[in-house]
Structure 1
């Protein structure tokens, strides 16, 4: 390969967004160079979904966008052009069978990200896309607000079109350093404050360490701060040695980490009883004790919750777990019912970007044309994927967005 060759497009970053943008451009007869700073492509994609690669989900575009909050409408053009059905068709065409075993999340039938990466790599080889690894971009070159190329740690490459698909700050061991943010900033783009998201959270309360054996289904979380009471989520939760994790926590972390940065700690309330309120819990306990008058409160609670968690809630309510119904004092019983309806936990920290699957924040969306993914500041510069200020929950949302935005960027519409 002649490294001084002029390319129609240079893509920086070999994640889902970067690879598909390169493929789309090459299919339109563009000469494409893909640069990756690590020694191999798609390192983060390989780790996605624990290696199972949850590609997308079956939601309608409207419902899909709603999951991204108020900025979700930015995705409208990208999804219209490349929604989950188009993504499934794309992979089918390059030899990857997919399915949705739960009717919602879409996986390769192999349930292996290796299948996805191999198919994408083979397609890039078929299209004669040049791939260079161990290339760290140091500077974008431009004249009169038009990109003309870039410099890496080893070479200078020229092109009138450059796509930044460098991702966020999550999982630095897989190459995330935020270099795309610094490059965009040097060109005049604003980068919002960056927070780690989709990650476990640490709690002030230490009793959680005794409840690690079980997954609690259908837990509702809500922030117990006056200005943020509308923030809530539902899903499965797992207690850990130092706090909480599980699908609902991974999703809710994107709301909590900015508040943690602002307030230092974030009080939460957890409904651990599948949505039962205090009155419903009171009636439930009454009925269970009527049926089993000689049973202890712990035995009754175990019909609602795992034993370890039931024991800890008894301790929090100052109740002897072996107490019978008639032995329970009014205040302690009321405290227990209140705890069952809304258990307080205080979030005090997390492991930072080291354990964050995604980044909350990024390039300001107002500076990007949603119909093309092109910069409004620099002609020929495009963005796709996680580098932009748009992140969603777990369940195929962020990968679908990466593929859709990469597809649109790769069309190089002026």
Structure 2
């Protein structure tokens, strides 16, 4: 399919489909469209292929999850309809078609067999190359506008050093200062450049919600956790009816770890979260367990009572919160106080702890303005949005990348069918 329409007298490159953003959803859309026989260019603002993918899963890339379903996502109804166009199973088949061998770990998490995120990027780049996709790095898109029957994409292209040395901040600053302004024309544009969508890039009537980081550590009141910085525990966090189990890392500003990250999507400043240090004990079984323990250990001090059950730093914090002194004898009344605190150690949420550690952004193009069956923006024929650029997010566990693959496939198919 050739690009139709004349924009103006200026000469610019013409392609069938322009993909803005070379992350997970962008590469999925590009490979899908190119396999359908379309000419495809990817404009990536970064200076490195797939850097956002390489950072995921502590460098191992939790690529997807076998338990993916729409109920896990923000804007569930939209995601459910999108998954009818590309099911989670079909997204996994796409990854396999790119040569990736997947391996399942706990809770359905899927990782590349090579156990390294770079292997995911390498496989996707090879699949893109074989399909005929062209990827341009260092290209920052400044506007996407419709003129007649074609889209005009304006972008600044950086000229980065053509060496194997590491690109420094000075290199980037120099490259940006001497960036070349360019443009191209396309029949279709797929926008998938992350969750922080500048309202000035897309047409003015596209509804864009403010971007906020989520899925990160929580800042809390710090007095109750004094002395626990960098201590890790297996526990559960609960706020209202929401409960997240997993590893929690205490920080000087609050709590981090998967359980805290997942809860960060749902809590607000002022909410109270309760740490359950004995998540396997339900109801009154925690106190019964501790009373039996007292029968075995007494006479003992409160501090001695915690030895072998809690890390010393955690014991000090919990005893303090329970109103118990470590050097005083442990009693049945003290056991009751300790049991209540171990099951519900309260912390007040103050906000996000460190935005730099957040895994996704909430916001972007409103799902109400997008067709879930095609990812096309209403009233903007040939403009598609997918991945994190849409107001969709999910917990940790590979679900956000799973959404990127599926929504990218849907957008690539729809764009290539125009």
* Superposition TM-score tier, normalisation by shorter sequence: 0.7 to 0.9
Structure 2 residue aligned with 1:14: 22
Q: Does 1:183 align with 2:185?
A: no
Residue pair 1:218, 1:234 contacting (<8 A) in 2 also: yes
Residue pair 1:147, 1:162 contacting (<8 A) in 2 also: no
Structure 2 residue aligned with 1:318: 323
Task: Name the SS for the 2:206 alignment partner.
Answer: coil
Structure 1 residue aligned with 2:390: 388
Structure 1 residue aligned with 2:127: 123
Residue pair 1:58, 1:104 contacting (<8 A) in 2 also: yes
**Which is helix-richer, 1 or 2?**
1
Paired with 1:24 and 1:52, the residues of 2 have a C-alpha distance of 24
Structure 2 residue aligned with 1:50: 58
Residue pair 1:273, 1:305 contacting (<8 A) in 2 also: no
**Which is strand-richer, 1 or 2?**
2
- Kindly tell me: are residues 131 and 47 of structure 1, through their superposed partners in 2, closer, same or farther at Cα, counting changes over 3 Å? same
Number of residue pairs matched by the alignment: 382
- 1:25 is aligned, of 30, 33, 46, to 33
Structure 2 residue aligned with 1:409: 411
- 2:117 is aligned, of 98, 106, 113, to 113
Structure 1 residue aligned with 2:341: 339
Q: Does 1:134 align with 2:138?
A: yes
Structure 2 residue aligned with 1:90: 94
Residue pair 1:285, 1:300 contacting (<8 A) in 2 also: no
Paired with 1:92 and 1:382, the residues of 2 have a C-alpha distance of 25
Structure 1 residue aligned with 2:312: 307
* TM-score normalised by the chain length of structure 1: 0.85
Structure 2 residue aligned with 1:206: 223
* TM-score normalised by the chain length of structure 2: 0.84
Q: Does 1:374 align with 2:383?
A: no
**What's the CA shift for 1:361?**
2.0
Paired with 2:291 and 2:133, the residues of 1 have a C-alpha distance of 69
Q: Does 1:285 align with 2:302?
A: no
Residue pair 1:278, 1:341 contacting (<8 A) in 2 also: no
- Kindly tell me: are residues 357 and 339 of structure 1, through their superposed partners in 2, closer, same or farther at Cα, counting changes over 3 Å? same
Paired with 1:255 and 1:275, the residues of 2 have a C-alpha distance of 23
> Structure 1 stretch 268-277 or stretch 27-36: which is displaced more?
268-277
> Structure 1 stretch 11-20 or stretch 110-119: which is displaced more?
110-119
> Structure 1 stretch 129-138 or stretch 269-278: which is displaced more?
269-278
Residue pair 1:209, 1:243 contacting (<8 A) in 2 also: no
> Structure 1 stretch 239-248 or stretch 281-290: which is displaced more?
281-290
Structure 1 residue aligned with 2:259: 248
Paired with 2:351 and 2:373, the residues of 1 have a C-alpha distance of 38
**What's the CA shift for 1:360?**
1.6
Paired with 2:369 and 2:85, the residues of 1 have a C-alpha distance of 21
Structure 1 residue aligned with 2:249: 238
Gapped regions of structure 2 (runs ≥ 5)? 1-10, 157-180
Paired with 1:24 and 1:403, the residues of 2 have a C-alpha distance of 10
Task: Name the SS for the 1:195 alignment partner.
Answer: strand
Structure 2 residue aligned with 1:4: 12
- Kindly tell me: are residues 297 and 277 of structure 1, through their superposed partners in 2, closer, same or farther at Cα, counting changes over 3 Å? farther
- Kindly tell me: are residues 141 and 194 of structure 1, through their superposed partners in 2, closer, same or farther at Cα, counting changes over 3 Å? closer
Residue pair 1:238, 1:244 contacting (<8 A) in 2 also: yes
- Kindly tell me: are residues 105 and 163 of structure 1, through their superposed partners in 2, closer, same or farther at Cα, counting changes over 3 Å? same
**What's the CA shift for 1:82?**
3.7
Q: Does 1:166 align with 2:193?
A: yes
Task: Name the SS for the 1:161 alignment partner.
Answer: strand
- Kindly tell me: are residues 111 and 83 of structure 1, through their superposed partners in 2, closer, same or farther at Cα, counting changes over 3 Å? farther
Task: Name the SS for the 2:91 alignment partner.
Answer: helix
Gapped regions of structure 1 (runs ≥ 5)? 170-177, 223-228
Task: Name the SS for the 1:392 alignment partner.
Answer: coil
Task: Name the SS for the 2:310 alignment partner.
Answer: coil
Residue pair 1:147, 1:378 contacting (<8 A) in 2 also: no
- Kindly tell me: are residues 237 and 78 of structure 1, through their superposed partners in 2, closer, same or farther at Cα, counting changes over 3 Å? same
